[in-house]
Amino acid sequence: MVDNVRDMLRNLIEKAQRYVSDAKINDALHILEINRDKFANVDLDLRFDYLIVLGYIFIVRGELLKAEKVVEEAIRISRKRADRDGRAKCYYLMSLVFHRRGEFEKSNRRLKVAIRLLVDSRNIRLKMSILQVLVMNSYLLNRRLDSELLKELKKNTGVFERYIEALSKYNSGYYEEALQDIQYCKKEWKKRDKIYLAETYFLSAQILYKSGKLKKALIDARKAVEIAINIKDKIGLARAQLLLGTISRDLGKMDEAKEAFHKAERLFSKMDNWQAEYVAKMGRETLER
């Protein structure tokens, strides 16, 4: 009977994770909230996984005090487990809490802890997520990425190492060199993981846009949208649509731009990401005036 209950609760967590992946945040929260009492007296591993998903949901919803409380409990549990990746995930989530509050230095300190926990890990997905927050913090703090942290982050990552190299060169203004690394990543990730391929086309479109190669940027932005749709990555799709709208607008393709901005606005709205939703809305409304 105990095993049956545990399996049922594990299935609920996995269902909530699928909802999160599909950007159905409120549905994911509902599943976990109505079963809150059932998750109160479970083993540490199950409790930890429940808290990780719940914490992320609260972050996306902007309920940062609730998120902080949940993630702090997850950190306490993580110290009793041998799973360094799990503990790194806690500090990544805490970095998101501080990032959403605008406390970027505190966010970076949590990211540093996460990166050092992952030094021997091959968890590329988590490393990619950490890198994205690190890049945003560096941009908002108006400073370059910490080169030592990048060195630690790219250890044992194979193709991801070249992706980080491309990102580093892009941030330093070496666009042509960055594009050479991006071409390598495209070729390799076509054989492996479509999620990273979508991210690579997105970064490629950004670099091409910044370097003034708008027609090529448009091609890669469309490709990023296409892959995100195929793999049902709603978050990646929203970002790609926003970039597609910006590039299309600058190329004078107003109908495509309006459509892309509108789609990005709707997607971000469903994720409760009001900042990005506002940017997409302003892009659309500017074209409609």
List the chain pLDDT tens, one digit each, 289 residues: 456 878 899 999 999 998 887 778 889 999 999 999 999 888 899 999 999 999 999 988 889 999 999 999 999 999 998 889 999 999 999 999 998 888 889 999 999 999 999 887 878 788 888 887 887 777 677 777 777 777 777 766 677 888 888 888 887 889 999 999 999 989 888 876 677 888 899 999 999 999 999 999 999 999 999 998 888 777 778 888 989 999 999 999 999 999 998 888 888 776 655 556 556 667 776 666 5
Distance CA 284, CA 139 (A): 25
- Indicate the domain borders of the chain: 161-289
Predicted local distance difference test score (pLDDT) of residue 22: 75
* CB-CB neighbours of 64 under 10 Å: 16
CATH (one of 3.40.50.720, 3.40.640.10, 3.90.380.10, 1.25.40.10) for 161-289: 1.25.40.10
Q: How many other C-beta atoms can be found within 10 angstroms of the C-beta atom of residue 113?
A: 17
Q: What is the pLDDT of residue 1?
A: 41
pLDDT of residue 153: 74
Cα–Cα dist 7/3, whole Å = 6
